[in-house]
Chains A and B, each alone.
Chain A
Amino acid sequence: MPKKTGKVRLRRVTLTGFRGARQQIWVDFGPGCKSLVLFGDNGDGKSSFSDAIEWFYTDRIEYLHREGCGREDYFNRYMPSGEDATVELNFSNSGLDGRKTLHRKGGGSFSQTTPDFGAYISRSAGESPILRHHTMRQFVEKSKTKKLETVEEIIGFGIVAQTREALLQAANVLGKDQNLATLRGQREERKRDIAAALQATEFEDADVLKRADELATNCDPSLSVSDDAQFKAAVEALRQRSTAGERGKELSALDDAAEKATVLSELPPLLARARALVAGHNKLAQDQERVKAIALQKLYDAAIEAMTADWVALGECPVCRAPVDTDELVTSLRDQVGKIAALVARRDKVIQATKALSDRAASLARGLQALLDHSAGAVFLTDEAKTDIVELSAALSDTIETLGRMEASYDLVEALDAPDALLTIAGREDALHARIQERRKQLDQTDKERTFYERVHKLTKLLDDHVRYRKLTRQAEAYEAQIESLQKVHEMFEAAERSAVAQALAAISADVDDFMTFLHPDDEFEGVELIMTERRGIEFTLKYHGEEVSPPMKILSEAHLNSLGICMFIASARHFNKENGFLILDDVVTSFDSGHRRLLARLLSEKLPHTQILLFTHDDLWFDMLKSDLPANVWLFKELIRWTKERGVDLRDSPLTLRERIENCLATNDISGGANKCRTLIEETLKVKCEKLGVRALEFRTGRANDQRGAAELTDALTSHLKGNQSLRDKASKETFRYLRASELVTNIGSHHSALGATTLVRGDIDTALRDVDDFESLFVCTDCDTEPAIQFSAPHSELKQCRCGALQI
């Protein structure tokens, strides 16, 4: 029995009113928490147990949920509508024993409420102890990205994915922060103004100080500027001097207003550029068919990759599997992808231009407001000019909003109107400058004064721009440094994650390879491995005749892929189910190659000696094999009794042999059940004889082809073999063969007709078939040594096989 590993094992499972269980039903695994093989025909209710255990931990049954079934479907449908259902699990650690009730009124509740129990349930909910027939290939058939996500889920990397996403999203959001965009825009404006003042495209702080020194010295030779403090002091001194009297203050204000008015001349070209951009955007947006195709670009790329890498059969559509001309489809898809790429490139250009224009429009809007607010400006602006400026401000706001919508999506936006004020604004600006000039004349400003005030104004603006530029630069750099740091931390984290996943993959791969080799010792592939792919994903790879193959479906048969799914499940459970030491394999060998199913039982027994296994099957041949192969001190063998409305499913200890189970059927007058099992007995008897004598009918076949090999085929092969070596050619032996063929036919018809409700078989027919099997068996047994002729007792390549003593040769 499973040794103690500290992991929790099942001691007893009890269901009442849950799924197939109408009355209370239980499996007691004994004090040693034995493993279990449970036999039951399809629809007999085996999965009631796996369903109950899944619900106990996770509060739902995933495969039923995916099929649209809700909690109402968890109740046994024949139980009274007011009754609750219960699932009770007893464990190797009795402190965790608990009963969960599925309430009719809604929800489920545990009988246990201790913190330890709650923590145990929570940890267990993250484990994967159940493999079902319809889910065993799911992992193998997932995309590379989904495989990685699944492995990360299996190995408990949920917190890793959350952390990675938090770091990445924070870096991305910070990079797109509107405040940062505004800071960058304002910084560029100041930079442009400083560069204009210096008549240079790029500059250093020293260049700014040098220009400040020139301007200050020209205003007052006693001033000099060689650092920030002197710069500020010089500006302060000159401003005080220029605004010492009322006349000076007004002249200074006039210069300032004239400077601010220059914004008006920038408006017409900016608004014209905005209208052109909107038109360009709308032209792109009108190509809706291609815009929608952008969403499909990944699918197109994947389809091209699948077809060019031969992942799908030539002449088959990779999506719908309909017949197509592969070359033509690849060419057409590449053409589409090229057109989409061109559209995206044009769109990128529009977005870049839009962003730049948005920043400038925002700056001009601020400039207009500053002009309206300026005391001197307001005095010299006429009411008509103010109305025009307000109209242009509104147009700028509309422009900024429209540009924002263009950045956000491909959708059509409303075309921008040219405001009427555009026609008159140039004249308003000229008039403003004329009035300012007129006032200067009235104040009797000399050329010397005008030059002085201009220089003071330039110096003041240079200081203001420089201080502001440095502040904006510091603020933007603070953002940029944080973004860079976050991106670096994200990269480091992703590297750590990849390393950990690679380590996990190596461990899983080692087991998967070991298990696959165990299940398929003679097959010509090796080195099964899960590897990280270039993009974020993982895939199986293996060596076939020494050549690397990936993905495995390129060469593996259905049965091999099933094996791979099972091996992956067992390997991941072995490494990552840290809480529970039991696994449930629910009907996973339905189409599993029959040549390998015995090896699966041995694999579970040998490779997972400390794990409690619950193996459910409807394959009675395999069930009998398991009873022979698996030690009874470690394994329980139970089978489901025919289901009734009154009781639901029920269990009993399984008889040891198929023959005993036939007797049980006959005892309960289940003639068709007996016929079915008798047919299986005949097939199994023939198969054993063929194996022992080396009859060439048991060569390797994959998947269902092997399962579907019938008794008639085996009888033909055996007869042909015996005819070839002239054995058992006497009349009595031939008659025995003939009777067995007849019994095979009778039991076959009986079991198949039972489905139609038209069987006419009676108990005597089955008794006769059993006698025929006995007679047939006796042909192959040596009366001296009581053994059958077999390869193991015979010389290599000998035509006739002999028994242990050699007296009987066949």
Chain B
Amino acid sequence: MQKISSGKELCDEFFERLLKDTTVDSSITGLLHKLYSEGDLSKEIILERLEALRQNAQEDREG
């Protein structure tokens, strides 16, 4: 019988592959991978962490 990926297997494989993808900003892929691994991948938490990323980047630029 043909092996069919479960939902979890699909997500696991996707986020592992995403981590190695060079066509997307690594800070975003790293963030999404981390949130997924920790079971925190929700709209609210993604937005919260993205805001922190923007703030950190701005602070870095402004020294």
Residues of A within 8 A of B (CB): 152, 155-160, 163, 165-167, 169-170, 173-174, 474-475, 478-479, 481-482, 485-486, 488-489, 492-493, 496-497, 500, 503-504, 506-507, 510, 574-576
Contacts and interface: CB of A to CB of B under 8 A. Distances in A.
Contact of B24 (A155, A159, A485, A576): A485
A156 B6 contact: yes
Given A157-B7, A482-B54, A489 B24 contact: yes
A480 to B, nearest CB: 11
B22 interface: no
B47 A158 contact: no
B25 interface: yes
Contacts of B28: 482, 485-486, 489
A507 B43 contact: no
27 contacts: A152-B7, A156-B7, A158-B7, A159-B8, A160-B11, A163-B36, A166-B43, A170-B50, A173-B43, A174-B50, A474-B58, A478-B58, A479-B54, A482-B50, A486-B46, A488-B24, A489-B24, A489-B28, A492-B14, A492-B24, A493-B14, A496-B10, A497-B10, A503-B4, A506-B2, A507-B1, A576-B4
Nearest to A488: B24
Contacts of B1: 507, 574-575
Contacts of A158: 7
Interface string B24-39: 1100110010001000
A166 B24 CA distance: 18
A85 B8 CA distance: 37
Given A173-B47, A482-B53, A155 B32 contact: no
Contacts of B7: 152, 155-160
Contact of B25 (A166, A174, A485): A485
Contacts of A504: 4
- Which of B2, B8, B23: most chain A CB closer than 10 A? B2
- Which of A155, A166, A503: most chain B CB closer than 10 A? A166
Contacts of A486: 28, 46, 50
Contacts of B50: 170, 174, 482, 486
Nearest to B28: A485
Given A492-B18, A507-B4, A169 B43 contact: yes
Given A496-B14, A497-B10, 5 more contacts: A167-B46, A173-B47, A482-B25, A489-B24, A507-B4
B47 A170 contact: yes
A165 B24 CA distance: 19
Nearest to A482: B50
A506 B4 CA distance: 10
A174 B43 CA distance: 10
B4 A155 contact: yes
A492 B23 CA distance: 11
A481 to B, nearest CB: 6
Nearest to A503: B4
B42 to A, nearest CB: 5
Nearest to A508: B4
Contact of A478 (B24, B29, B47, B57): B57
A166 B41 contact: yes
A159 B41 CA distance: 10
Contacts of A510: 2
B26 to A, nearest CB: 10
B23 A166 contact: no
A489 B18 contact: yes
Contacts of B61: 474
Interface string B43-62: 10011001001100110010
B43 A170 contact: yes
A481 B25 CA distance: 8
7 smallest beta-carbon distances between A and B, as pairs: A170-B46, A485-B28, A157-B7, A169-B43, A159-B7, A160-B7, A507-B2
A610 to B, nearest CB: 11
A764 to B, nearest CB: 58
- Which of A163, A165, A167, A169: most chain B CB closer than 10 A? A163
A486 B28 CA distance: 8
Nearest to B61: A474
A475 B54 contact: yes
B41 to A, nearest CB: 5
- Which of A485, A574, A575: most chain B CB closer than 10 A? A485
B29 to A, nearest CB: 7
A676 to B, nearest CB: 43
Nearest to B6: A156
A84 to B, nearest CB: 37
Given A166-B41, A173-B47, A478 B54 contact: yes
Nearest to A497: B10
A575 B47 CA distance: 37
- Which of B8, B14, B41: most chain A CB closer than 10 A? B14
A173 B8 CA distance: 26
A165 B8 CA distance: 15
Nearest to A164: B11
Contacts of A474: 58, 61
A166 B42 contact: yes
A507 to B, nearest CB: 5
Contacts of B21: 492
Nearest to A483: B50
B20 to A, nearest CB: 12
B2 to A, nearest CB: 5
B32 to A, nearest CB: 6
Contacts of A155: 4, 6-7
Nearest to A481: B25
Contacts of B43: 165-166, 169-170, 173
A500 B5 contact: yes
Contact of B10 (A160, A166, A489): A160
Contacts of A157: 7, 10
A634 B13 CA distance: 41
A497 B9 CA distance: 11
A478 B46 CA distance: 15
Nearest to A574: B1
A472 to B, nearest CB: 11
